[in-house]
């Protein structure tokens, strides 16, 4: 998204809580349906070596007693950045594996992966 699109989405979808991965440039966002998925907290994980300002959002939420950790990312793109993309993917896996055992993790996003990279 870009800031203008994010504002538009917030305006047009008031039944969703919109969580942005940044406030400028091109960024990711996670949307939670209000009164269904309840927001607890979020964290933005920067990828320090990203040349494209990529990051990952983790959102802690719950549906009733079910604890959720939602991971959303957009990894580095193009074949020229394969090493950074794989590094970013491994960081996402690390965060996924560190989630508490009583938490369901959903990991999604634009991974830009090619078969040989996995």
The residues spanned by each domain of the chain are: 3-113
Residue 19 pLDDT exceeds 90: yes
Closest CA to 59 of 89, 37, 85: 37
| C-alpha dihedral (109, 113, 115, 118), degrees to nearest 10 | -80
Structure confidence by residue, pLDDT tens digits, 51-73: 999 999 999 999 999 999 999 99
Output the CATH code of domain 3-113: 3.60.10.10
pLDDT mean over 92-115: 95
Residue 84 exposure: Cα atoms within 13 Å on the Cβ side: 18
Instruction: Indicate the average pLDDT of the chain.
Output: 95
**110 labelled catalytic:** yes
pLDDT mean over 32-58: 96
What are the tokens at 113? 């992966």
Residue 117 pLDDT exceeds 80: no
pLDDT at 11: 98
Cα 43–Cα 26–Cα 115 angle in degrees, nearest 5: 80
Out of 40, 83, 110, 115, the active site residue is 110
């Amino acid at each position: 998204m870009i800031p203008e699109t994010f504002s538009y989405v917030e305006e047009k979808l008031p039944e969703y809580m919109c969580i942005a991965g940044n406030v400028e440039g091109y960024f990711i966002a996670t949307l939670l349906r209000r009164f269904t998925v309840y927001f607890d907290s979020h964290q933005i994980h920067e990828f320090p070596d990203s040349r494209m300002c990529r990051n990952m959002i983790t959102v802690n939420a719950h549906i009733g007693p079910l604890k959720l950790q939602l991971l959303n990312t957009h990894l580095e793109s193009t074949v020229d950045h394969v090493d950074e993309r794989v590094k970013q993917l491994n960081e996402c896996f690390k965060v996924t594996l560190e989630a508490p055992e009583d938490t369901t993790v959903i990991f999604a996003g634009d991974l830009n992966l090619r078969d040989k990279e996995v």
